[in-house]
């Protein structure tokens, strides 16, 4: 079947056709769509994949290893920063080896296009010592994912696949084969192998030795890469990942195909010296073009140190940060070969520098986080009438603008950094925040540590029932078996309240109480993600039609500038100066509670409201 | 595989989350493929669920011999052929891609940049700035038109596509 698919779906198709048995992940862009694609293919074509929506990457990786050691073909998916969380087990997978083919698929994000950071995870590879594939096109993702499974089983090693954002979001038409899904039959059994699986002391060192030998074998046996253009040229270009397409097209377009020899390396760790050496044979100069920190350039320089006469550079021409654009590569080639660029607009003036502010998005209409940050700031302002207060921030939807937290770094930076600040800067009022998914990811350890160390900590958990930013995977808090209050009290939390995010007066009251208490205090704020409640939202829509009353509105702008709900819009004519866009409004009624002049009325349709209340949908 | 450069037709569709950019992109993609053309491109959604910048790039190749999948999915500066912008500020964001051949079709409905609510914007009238750039430009309130005709603003993109087609902005029958 020919489908238009993106990079994430190409991984899913390939894995399913290869008979994937076990899928484990922690969601994160740009690879957040692999899981839904595998769910869909598994359900549509009657696959038998066992899923593990793990609470963090550490658990996700170990469980995939467990499945592999039982003979299953397994895959674990995470984003670049997730590799930090998985780093501990990743350092042992090379020692244990695997049984069923095991793939670790990691989304990288040069330019931080869908992440808080653009960390370059390549540098983990020499440390964890696993083969690395870096496909460059959608069809290569598909075929190399399959190759990676075969390589994994042939050499009993997990294989890593890196997918940069650009490639994940690329689309192409691909011929897939659904008839292969669910066909492979495997027997699952854990077979004891203490020599490989017990990694302590001398045995660990012995396994480390074996791993180096295995990687040496792979580096001699395996090579994935492709050469283009003139092999006799004295100038070589080596690429990996997304920079290949930019380089290929630049060379064609500038008519340099006779002057340049291009090599794209798909398996960038370990490098095959024997296969690569001939490329350098007649080269005076080689330029390595790659995103981020020059991993390939460093690896090549290290591999061929003292063995070739070719001058090799990369990062002296291209930045080690951000995503390298097509234009910058095109201009590099034009400069290098002294070609006047024949752009269609060459007779035009240089483009104006128009500074359009970055549009980072914001909380959606009806988002519980908007209510939360409004209340937090209101309470802090009342309690500490200056800006000495501190709000600890966490990543995820609660980090979206209007950003009110004082820092945004990694998961659970709120609950962690706040502990140091509250210990050392005791005159400042500190409130740490984080989502429910973050809480279960590792925030729970932060709370336990605060209890153990008797830290004065006030932490808010925003429970919206989903991992919303990455596509609404269910959070552990949506599990009816979980009792967060019992859990937190069992950890030794001193004081705990659960509040409704949309009931502002109760929220404010409870938060004030906790501000005036001591010890480890948690405010669990419940309010489901507004994107996930269509049925309730429709009923609320029928029951309420909020409006701003012109005779009561004093233009205080609290609803517009402080609450910043996108459904409240500025009018160009007539009083009041603001109105509610009922097409956008989710009827959360937070603006009505915020208005100090009673100018926002809900306009209740009592019949519809009664029906909704009876159905418990409001 | 051809060793000669085969110029594609370059399209950017831009707007904000929730305006149906992904759907419109896939529609044009599918229609192009039905005309036996190859397409290279990407859809960028950013991190926000709604109201963040979203854009897609499409490069449509007419030649049957082109090894299109090796081409870049990005578009070179000044080489954009058609911009479909569902929001004027987002249209301006791609200004460096405008060349003399660029045709722009833009909905006039402005979505405020939310983080800027407490401070003045450097550009108060993005449509006026867009007009000053002197490209072939159609600016209309396609969102209002979509609401009036179909009862849903999300049909604005399809109406803009239809207008571009009617104006002959696509170099083939689509």
Secondary structure (DSSP) of B19-37: S-HHHHHHHHHHHHHHTT-
A97 and A193 belong to one structural domain: yes
| For residue B127, pLDDT beyond 50 | yes
Strand partners of residue A568: A580
**Alpha-carbon distance values, A67 to A49, A182, A352, A361, A481 (Å):** 11, 17, 56, 39, 25
Over residues A488-534, the pLDDT tens digits come to 999 999 999 999 999 999 999 999 999 999 999 999 999 989 888 76
C-alpha triplet B68, A165, B41: angle, nearest 5°: 30
pLDDT of residue B154: 85
| For residue A618, pLDDT beyond 60 | no
Domain count, chain A: 4
Count the Cβ atoms, other than its own, within 10 Å of residue A406: 15
A373/A394 Cα distance (integer angstroms): 13
Residue A363 lies in a domain: no
Residues in chain A within 8 Å Cβ distance of B30: 4
Average pLDDT, chain A: 92
End-to-end CA distance of chain A: 45
Residue A345 lies in a domain: no
Q: Does ipTM exceed 0.95? A: no
A535/A213 Cα distance (integer angstroms): 59
Indicate the SS3 state at residue A19.
Answer: coil
Q: Which domain holds residue A566?
A: 534-614
A470 and A549 belong to one structural domain: no
Residue A80 lies in a domain: yes
Over residues A312-341, the pLDDT tens digits come to 999 999 999 999 999 999 999 999 999 887
A212 and A286 belong to one structural domain: no
A497/A519 Cα distance (integer angstroms): 14
> What is the β-pairing status of strands A285-289 and A235-239?
parallel
Q: What is the mean pLDDT of residues A385-406?
A: 86
Split at pLDDT 50, 70, 90, the class of A210 is: very high
A580 and A515 belong to one structural domain: no
A314 and A459 belong to one structural domain: no
Strand partners of residue A22: A50, A74
CA gyration radius for chain B?
A: 16
Residue A349 lies in a domain: no
Over residues A443-456, the pLDDT tens digits come to 999 999 999 999 99
Reference A222, options A275, A183, A169; nearest CA is A275
Domain boundaries, chain B: 9-166
A473/A466 Cα distance (integer angstroms): 6
CA gyration radius for chain A?
A: 28
CA-based torsion, A329, A223, A167, A142: positive or negative: positive
Contact of A89 with A61, CB cutoff 8 Å: yes
| For residue B14, pLDDT beyond 80 | yes
Split at pLDDT 50, 70, 90, the class of B47 is: low
pLDDT of residue A517: 95
A195 and A104 belong to one structural domain: yes
Contact of A49 with A125, CB cutoff 8 Å: no
Say which residues have a Cβ less than 8 Å from residue A590's Cβ, sequence separation at least 6: A370, A371, A374, A502, A504, A563, A565
Split at pLDDT 50, 70, 90, the class of A351 is: low
**Beta-carbon separation of B49 and A468 below 8 A:** yes
Q: Chain-centre distance of CA A592, in angstroms?
A: 35
- 220-249 in A: which are within 8 Å (CB) of B? 228-229, 242, 244-246, 248-249
Looking at residue A165, which CATH number applies to its domain?
3.40.50.970
A190 and A237 belong to one structural domain: no
Residues in chain B within 8 Å Cβ distance of A114: 44-47
**Beta-carbon separation of B100 and A345 below 8 A:** yes
A137 and chain B: CB distance < 8 Å anywhere? yes
Q: What is the mean pLDDT of residues A55-68?
A: 97
Residue A482 lies in a domain: yes
Over residues A13-33, the pLDDT tens digits come to 999 999 999 999 999 999 999
Nearest to B49 among A137, A330, A364 (CB): A364
> What is the β-pairing status of strands B98-107 and A285-289?
unpaired
A585 and chain B: CB distance < 8 Å anywhere? no
B9-166 has CATH 3.40.920.10 classification: yes
Q: Which residue of B has its CA nearest to A242?
A: B72
Secondary structure (DSSP) of A296-336: HHHHHHHHTTTT---EEESTTTS-SSSPPPHHHHHHHHHHH
Q: Which residue has the higher pLDDT, A68 or A354?
A: A68
B173 and chain A: CB distance < 8 Å anywhere? no
Secondary structure (DSSP) of A146-178: HHHHHHHHHHT--EEEEEEHHHHHEEEEEE--G
Over residues A590-601, the pLDDT tens digits come to 999 999 999 999
A56/B72 Cα distance (integer angstroms): 35
pLDDT of residue A63: 98
pLDDT of residue B116: 61
Burial A220-234 (b: 16+ CB within 10 A, else e): eebbbbeebbbeebe
Residue A558 lies in a domain: yes
Mutate to test the interface with B, among A163, A164, A249, A467 (most CBs of B within 10 A): A249
> What is the β-pairing status of strands A2-6 and A520-526?
unpaired
| For residue B114, pLDDT beyond 80 | no
Reference A457, options A503, A514, A505, A497; nearest CA is A514
Residue A205 lies in a domain: yes
Residue A342 lies in a domain: no
Looking at residue A308, which CATH number applies to its domain?
3.40.50.920
**Beta-carbon separation of B93 and A139 below 8 A:** no
> What is the β-pairing status of strands B80-85 and B9-16?
parallel
A572 and A519 belong to one structural domain: no
A153 and A31 belong to one structural domain: yes
pLDDT of residue A353: 64
Secondary structure (DSSP) of A25-54: E---TTSTTHHHHHHHHHHHTT--PEEEE-
pLDDT of residue B91: 96
Cis check for the bond before B36: say yes or no (omega within 30 of 0): no
Q: What is the mean pLDDT of residues A36-53?
A: 95
């Amino acid at each position: 079947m020919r489908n238009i698919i993106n990079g994430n779906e190409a991984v899913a198709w390939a894995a399913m056709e290869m008979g994937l048995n076990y899928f484990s992940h922690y969601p994160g862009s740009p690879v957040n769509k692999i899981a839904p694609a595998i769910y869909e293919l598994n359900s549509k074509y009657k696959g038998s994949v066992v899923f593990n929506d793990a609470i963090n990457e550490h658990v996700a990786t170990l469980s995939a290893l467990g499945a592999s050691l039982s003979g299953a073909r397994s895959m674990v998916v995470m984003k670049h920063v997730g590799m930090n969380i998985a780093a501990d087990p990743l350092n042992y997978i090379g020692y244990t080896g695997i049984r069923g083919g095991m793939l670790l698929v990691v989304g990288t994000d040069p330019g931080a296009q869908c992440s808080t950071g653009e960390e370059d995870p390549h540098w983990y590879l020499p440390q964890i010592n696993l083969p690395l594939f870096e496909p460059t096109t959608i069809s290569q993702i598909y075929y190399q994912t399959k190759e990676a499974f075969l390589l994994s089983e042939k050499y009993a090693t997990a294989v890593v696949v890196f997918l940069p954002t650009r490639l994940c979001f690329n689309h192409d038409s691909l011929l897939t084969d659904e008839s292969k899904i669910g066909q492979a039959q495997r027997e699952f059994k854990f077979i004891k192998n203490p020599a490989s699986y017990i990694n302590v002391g001398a045995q660990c060192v012995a396994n480390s030795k074996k791993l180096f030998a295995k990687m040496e074998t792979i580096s001699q046996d395996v090579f994935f890469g492709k050469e283009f253009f003139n092999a006799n040229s004295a100038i070589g270009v080596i690429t990996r990942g997304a920079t290949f397409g930019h380089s290929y097209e630049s060379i064609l377009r500038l008519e340099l195909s006779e002057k340049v020899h291009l090599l794209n390396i798909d398996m960038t760790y370990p490098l095959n010296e024997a296969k690569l050496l001939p490329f350098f044979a007649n080269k005076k100069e080689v330029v390595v073009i790659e995103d981020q920190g020059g991993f390939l350039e460093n690896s090549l320089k290290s591999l061929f140190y003292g063995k070739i006469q070719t001058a090799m550079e990369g990062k002296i021409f291209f930045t080690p940060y951000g995503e390298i654009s097509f234009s910058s590569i095109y201009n590099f080639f034009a400069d290098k070969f002294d070609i006047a660029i024949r752009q269609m607009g060459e007779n035009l003036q240089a483009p104006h520098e128009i500074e359009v502010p970055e549009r980072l998005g914001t909380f959606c209409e009806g988002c519980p986080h908007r209510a939360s940050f409004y209340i937090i700031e209101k309470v802090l302002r009342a309690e500490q009438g200056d800006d000495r207060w501190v709000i600890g921030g966490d990543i995820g939807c609660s980090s979206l603008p209007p950003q009110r937290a004082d820092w945004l770094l990694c998961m659970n930076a709120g609950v962690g950094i706040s502990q140091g600040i509250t210990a050392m800067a005791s005159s400042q009022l500190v409130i740490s925040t984080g989502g429910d998914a973050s809480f279960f990811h590792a925030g729970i350890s932060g709370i336990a540590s605060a209890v153990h160390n008797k830290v004065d900590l006030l932490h808010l958990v925003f429970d919206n029932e989903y991992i919303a930013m990455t596509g609404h995977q269910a959070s552990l808090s949506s599990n009816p078996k979980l009792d967060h209050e019992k859990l937190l009290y069992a950890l030794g939390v001193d004081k705990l309240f659960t509040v409704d995010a949309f009931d502002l007066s109760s929220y404010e009251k409870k938060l004030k109480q906790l501000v005036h208490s001591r010890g480890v205090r948690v405010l669990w704020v419940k309010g489901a993600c507004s994107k996930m409640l269509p049925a309730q939202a429709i009923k609320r829509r029928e029951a309420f039609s909020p409006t701003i009353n012109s005779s009561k509105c004093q233009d205080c702008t609290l609803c517009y500038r402080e609450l910043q709900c996108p459904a409240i819009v500025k009018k160009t004519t007539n009083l009041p100066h603001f109105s509610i866009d009922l097409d956008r409004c989710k009827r959360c009624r937070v603006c009505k509670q915020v208005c100090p002049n009673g100018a926002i009325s809900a306009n209740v349709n009592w019949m519809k409201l009664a029906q909704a209340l009876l159905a418990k949908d409001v | 595989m051809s060793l000669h450069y085969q110029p594609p037709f370059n399209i950017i569709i831009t707007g904000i989350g929730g305006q149906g950019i992904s759907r419109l992109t896939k529609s044009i993609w599918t229609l192009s493929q039905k005309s036996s053309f190859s397409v290279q491109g990407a859809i960028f959604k950013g991190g926000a669920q709604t109201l963040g910048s979203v854009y897609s790039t499409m490069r449509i190749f007419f030649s049957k011999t082109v090894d299109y999948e090796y081409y870049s999915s990005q578009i070179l500066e000044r080489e954009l052929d058609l911009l479909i912008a569902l929001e004027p500020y987002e249209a301006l964001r791609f200004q460096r891609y405008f060349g003399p051949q660029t045709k722009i079709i833009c909905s006039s409905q402005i979505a405020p940049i939310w983080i800027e609510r407490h401070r003045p914007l450097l550009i108060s009238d993005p449509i006026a700035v867009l007009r000053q750039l002197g490209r072939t430009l159609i600016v209309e309130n396609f969102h209002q038109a979509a609401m009036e005709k179909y009862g849903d603003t999300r049909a604005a993109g399809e109406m803009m596509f239809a207008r571009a087609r009617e104006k002959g902005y696509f170099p083939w029958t689509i």
